[in-house]
Amino acid sequence: MKIEAEKIDDILVLTPCDPVIDASSAADFKAQLVTWIQEDNTRILLDLSFIEFIDSSGLGAIISLLKLVAGKGDISLCGIREQVMSLFKLTRMDRIFRFYTSSTEALEAMKAGDKWQGAGDRRQGAGDRRQSGREQGAGDRRQDAGDRRRGAGD
Amino acid sequence: MIRVEYFYNFGIFVTNCFFITLLTIAYWRTPNMDYNALEPLGNDPNSLRDSLLKHLRYSLGKEFDNKTIRDVYLALTLSLRDRLLEKLLETEARYQAADAKRLYYLSMEFLIGRSLGINLTNLNIFEACRTALMDMGINLEEVREQETDAALGNGGLGRLAACFLDSLATLDYPGFGYGIHYEYGLFRQEIDNGYQKEKPDHWLSKAGPFQIERTDESCIIPLYGRIEHGLDLNGNYNPMWMDWRVILGVPHDIPIVGYGARTVNYLRLYAAKPSSDFDIQIFNAGDYFRAVEQKIKSETVSKILYPSDTVNTGKELRLVQEYFLVACSLKDIIRRYLKTHQGFDGFPDKVNIQMNDTHPALAVAELMRILVDENAMEWEPAWNITQKTLAYTNHTLLSEALEKWPVGLLEHVLPRHLQIIYEINHRFLGEIAALWPGDTDRLSRMSLIEEGAEKQVRMAHLAIIGSHSVNGVSALHTELIKTSLVPDFFARWPERFNNKTNGITQRRWLLKSNPLLADLLNETVGSEWITDLYRLRDLESFASDPAFQERFRKIKQANKEHLGKIIYQTTRLRINPDSLFDIHAKRIHEYKRQLLNVMHIIHEYLCIIEDGHEPVVPKTYIFAGKAAPGYWAAKQIIKLIHNVGDVIHKDKRVKNKLKVVFIPDYRVSLAEKIIPAAEVSEQISTAGTEASGTGNMKFALNGALTIGTLDGANVEMLEEVGEDNIYIFGLKTCEVQKMKIDGTYRPLDYYHEHDSIRRVMDAFWDNRFCLHEPGLFRWLYHHILEKGDYYFHLADFLSYSQMHETIYADYLQTPVWNRKSILNVARMGKFSSDRSITEYAREIWGLTQVH
């Protein structure tokens, strides 16, 4: 898979040029991303403007990108088409990335160091969750997933 | 002097002016073309004939002289489809203009049967079509016989869904069906040496072109995968559903026209296709067969209808089918809603979804997933929307039929949905614990998760918790739901529980299938009954009229003779059309007690040959119905019926006073021929087992008298027709329940105390009906006498036999019998599906008619 790379300040802009990231190309996609990160690129903007379709392997590759830079940098995405965004929403991956309409907007935000731009709704939703205490419940629930499997009798 | 060039230039100028003027006039005079408005299609014989001939030539590429009868059927279907689609588009425009609230009926089964006849009836062009064909030398009945049943259902539940669609359209309600486009419907039943053999029903190869494939509205459905546990940007827990596989749901629309052709809704059936033709990676790696295997695996989702109508199979494919239905339907419903509305706050005001049994219960979790995961809604408002949108119909009281799915299987197939179900359960049990502190048994009973060696998800509980309405399908059934099936849920939400007694469409089950009787009714009381079945009450004043009775009786006789021909064609048995036709037609199941019927037949036979009893009335006992392929006992009962029939028919002492017939391959189109010929209708389930029944209504509407227990809708039929006009026998529900709880039922006592019972049971032991297969029916002896007779055959045997004697005595008094028969027809108004749907629309869905 062809990925164009451009370094702007300390931000690496990666633009996959194929229209599809699926099972046949995800492994190669992931391998290239890993290579870039191993070259000490920790601030990455993934420009998905050319992507028309991505399947679960493609999404998995993007998640692994996030895991690789976790704590050391940040990943942002831009240029997501509606069909692709619906898959991010389906998987709830839309909640772990920052999304921008264009690379210009993304670069401005990343340079400004603004950690919370993007969908206004999500900001309000997240605020609510923090205030309502559901956040704690959600954290507990993750740990309790095993407990709950034992059912109500416990 | 004027120069020549001046004339030349002037000529050009004038010519230009002329053309400019012409163009201007043309522009102003040409109206803006509305390409949506076409000339409506005509429904007179000439227009129908033209349509048919055009389709023959341009759709099928056939000259008239080279046509086959099948070509005519296809061309006629295409002609009708044109008219249906015209109305469907008009209907949709009307709904959009009104921004009408819509009802979506989700069902794994739609037992549609044949469509050509009902479409002709409801479009009101039956006679016009008959004339058009006759003019071309073609017989409409021959054409109709080309059509195969669409048997996308097992029995009552699937047929109810089909009747409901007919009523929704007839009553001008925006109501649509959503189901699965099975490639193979319910198996065809053949009989080989008395045994049922299942044959595949590849209905699509013979299906008419009523349906339209809508590939542009396909949807992608994810399945399997795993949960990746993570945190979102705010540090909150964020479960991500990853590594799923996808299948494509391709919708096929079948237009559903209401009587009078004002409204055409649709039934949308989804077929499963692989997301791409091959998994390219596997293919590229050279493993062609594995690539094809993946393709085939995807397509199996909609390959075949599961043929069991009571017991859960527990099969993964069935779970996948159920999710496939729910996911495709919700995606489509939401897509339609969002085309004209913003946000989800108003969703329940514009959409209601009815879950037909628990098969679509995953809609609760799926709708929550869509709202919370894909639309970032908070849990509480999403749950509020879900409950207001969804409603649940329960169809069974049998515990083995209540759906449960192993937690492990759900985790494998739908990991995110399982998480959501856990969350629903957690919050729900928190509420219950607050309301009933310290009552841990209640928590355990009500939990969505059933403990045990293998934990299971209780789908009925999920459906109840996630719905604003829970209904049973007869008054008795609804009471039993509240008092014994889910009393804890009734205690929590009494306002949710309501009754919606089942109904049948009189258009198919009287107007279409019994045209002789329909004509008589139209002539006598007018035709308003076609859309208001209560109007048949006007018939009561004719019930004792000798002239009317004579005509009524002649119609019954004609129907019997017609059925006699069909029986001869399919079984090579000749039956006496003057005998009493006693019919037991429904799925073969122990709770429906075909065995009780057979035991009584054996009793009658033994009375003739051992007691010298001369039957007062010659009788033909007719059975029909399919057994689930894995249901051994049901299949043995089919064999028993055949063997008993064989012995009786060969015994000259019977002198043809008794005949036993099993008509193979019971299906909707066969029911339409059997029911009009019935004189006695067997509705003899053990009290407390049949939720409603609908066959009982169909038979009574066609003038059959019912012998039945006080079970299901029989109770309400008794109330409507009056106790003089129905033959009720046997234990009541409360009596059966008491004997079960107290453990006081001892079948051996009945065996020892009653000669008639002992004689019948000994006949099973003595190989009387299986001389060439000794011991074949001994299991019945053990099953009933030693294993507790779970369905109380012996307890009801005597009252059943006595009631038959009463029936025979009445039958001999022809005016009495005819009067009872006519009063049954007259008093079936309550059991129209129009009444059922009106109640659902008013009390559950908040739906408005859109005229």
B244 to chain A, closest Cα gap in Å: 6
- Six-digit token string for B335: 């897509």
The answer on B541 and B479 residing in a single domain is no
> CA dist A71 to A66, A67, B167, B520, Å?
9, 9, 61, 84
B603 catalytically annotated? no
Residues B497 and B538 grouped into a single domain: no
- Is there a contact between B683 and B714 (Cβ–Cβ < 8 Å)? yes
Q: Is residue B698 annotated as a catalytic residue, yes or no?
A: yes
Contacts of B245 in chain A (CB under 8 A): 56
Q: Which amino acid is at B671?
A: A
The pLDDT assigned to B306 comes to 86
Summarised one tens digit per residue, pLDDT across range A75-106 is: 899 999 998 999 999 999 999 999 999 999 99
Same domain, B672 and B615: yes
- Alpha carbon of B241: minimum distance to chain A alpha carbons (Å): 5
In a domain, B130, yes or no: no
Q: How confident is the model at residue B286 (pLDDT cuts 50, 70, 90)?
A: low
Q: Which two tokens stand for residue A22?
A: 């699926």
- Four-residue CA torsion sign, B755, B761, B765, B768: positive
Q: Which distant-in-sequence residues (6+ apart) come within 8 Å of B296 by Cβ? A: none
DSSP letter, residue B672: H
Among candidate residues B811, B828, B806, B817, the one with its CA nearest the CA of residue B700: B828
Is residue B335 domain-resident? yes
B599-620 mean pLDDT: 95
Beta bridge partners of B453: none
Q: φ and ψ at B311, to 5 degrees? A: -90, 140
**CB within 8 Å: A151 and B228:** no
Instruction: Identify whether B737 is part of a domain.
Output: no
Determine, yes or no, domain membership for B810. Answer: yes
Q: Has residue A121 got a pLDDT over 50?
A: no
Residue B525 inside a domain? The answer is no
pLDDT per position as a tens digit, B89-124: 999 999 999 999 999 999 999 999 999 999 999 999
**C-alpha pair distances (Å), B39 with each of B42, B83, B798:** 9, 12, 67
Q: Is residue B701 a part of any domain in this protein?
A: yes
Q: Are residues B497 and B537 in the same domain?
A: no
Rounded CA separation B492/B327 (Å): 29
CATH 3.20.20.140 given to domain A3-114: no
User: With an 8 Å Cβ cutoff, are B239 and A149 in contact?
Assistant: no
* Co-location of B212 and B270 in the same domain: yes
**Measured between CA atoms, how close is A35 to chain B, in angstroms?**
23
The CATH number for B333's domain is 3.40.50.2000
Q: Whole-model pTM?
A: 0.90
Range among A68-82, B147-161, B310-324 rated most confident: B147-161
Record the tokens describing residue B302, joined without a space.
């909609």
- Backbone φ and ψ of B200, nearest 5°: -65, 145
Average of per-residue pLDDT across B647-664: 95
- The answer, yes or no, to whether residue B362 has pLDDT greater than 90, is yes
Name the residue ranges covered by the structural domains of chain A: 3-114
Could you tell me the two tokens for B66?
């080279």
B115: helix, strand or coil: coil
Interface contact B374-A141, CB threshold 8 A: no
Same domain, residue pair B535 and B617 = yes
| Secondary structure (3-state) at A20 | strand
Closest Cα to residue B54, out of B41, B35, B38?
B41
pLDDT band at B290 (very low <50, low <70, confident <90, very high): low
Torsions phi, psi for B416 (to 5 deg): -70, -35
Identify the DSSP state of B841.
I
Number of domains forming the structure of chain B:
3
Is B222 in contact with A90 (Cβ distance < 8 A)?
A: yes
A24 vs A32: CA distance, rounded Å:
14
Share the mean pLDDT of chain B.
93
3-state DSSP call for residue B617?
coil
Identify the domain containing residue B231 by its residue range.
Answer: 99-114+149-502+839-845
How many angstroms separate the Cα of B726 from the Cα of each of B205, B679, B707? 44, 12, 7
AA identity, residue B71 = D
In the prediction, which pLDDT does A127 show? 30
What is the mean pLDDT of the segment spanning B776-784?
Answer: 96
> How far apart are alpha carbons B80 and A101 in whole angstroms?
50
CA B333 to chain centre: 22
Is the domain of B191 the same as that of B305? yes
Strands A98-100 and B264-274: unpaired
Going from the C-alpha of A109 to that of each of A70, A112, A119, the distances in angstroms are: 19, 5, 13
pLDDT surpasses 80 at B35:
no
Instruction: Tell me if residue A126 falls in helix, strand or coil.
Output: helix
Same domain, residue pair B309 and B435: yes
Instruction: Show Cβ contacts of residue B600 under 8 Å, excluding neighbours closer than 6 positions.
Output: B797, B800, B801, B804
What residue type is B560 in one-letter code?
K
Mutate to test the interface with B, among A56, A59, A124 (most CBs of B within 10 A): A56
Identify the three-state secondary structure at position B711: coil
Please give the backbone phi and psi of residue B658, each rounded to the nearest 5 degrees, phi first. -140, 130
pLDDT tens per residue across span B443-483 = 999 999 999 999 999 999 999 999 999 999 999 999 999 99
pLDDT band for B372, please (50, 70, 90 cuts): very high
- Cβ–Cβ < 8 Å for B209, B226: no
Strand blocks (E) in B339-496: 351-356, 390-393, 404-406, 449-450, 456-458, 470-472
Q: To 10 degrees, what angle do helices B45-58 and B69-98 make?
A: 110
| Same domain (yes/no): B389, B339 | yes
Pairing type for strands B264-274 and B175-180 reads parallel
Using the structure block, give the residue that is written with the tokens 């379709």: A53
Identify whether B674 is part of a domain: yes
User: Of the listed B83, B130, B395, B482, which one is catalytic?
Assistant: B395
**φ, ψ of residue B312 in degrees (nearest 5):** -75, 135
The answer to whether B275 touches B294, Cβ cutoff 8 Å, is: no
Structure tokens at B109: 């089964």
B239 and B372 in one domain? yes
Predicted pLDDT at A113: 78
Side-chain-side CA neighbours of residue B233 (13 Å):
23
Specify the DSSP class assigned to residue B187: P
Q: Quick one: how far is CA B293 from the chain centroid?
A: 33
Whether residues B710 and B667 share a domain: the answer is yes
Same domain, B481 and B589: no
The answer to whether residues B543 and B829 touch, using CB atoms and an 8 Å cutoff, is no
Determine the average pLDDT of the residues in B514-543: 98
**B86 with B93: CB under 8 angstroms?**
no
Query: A10, A77 in Cβ contact below 8 A?
Result: no
* Selected residue of B234, B446, B488 to mutate for chain A interface (largest A Cβ count, 10 A): B234
* Model pLDDT for residues B43-89, shown as the tens digit of each residue: 999 999 999 999 999 999 999 999 999 999 999 999 999 999 999 99
Cβ neighbours of A109 in B, within 8 Å? none
Contact predicate B681/B696, CB 8 Å: yes
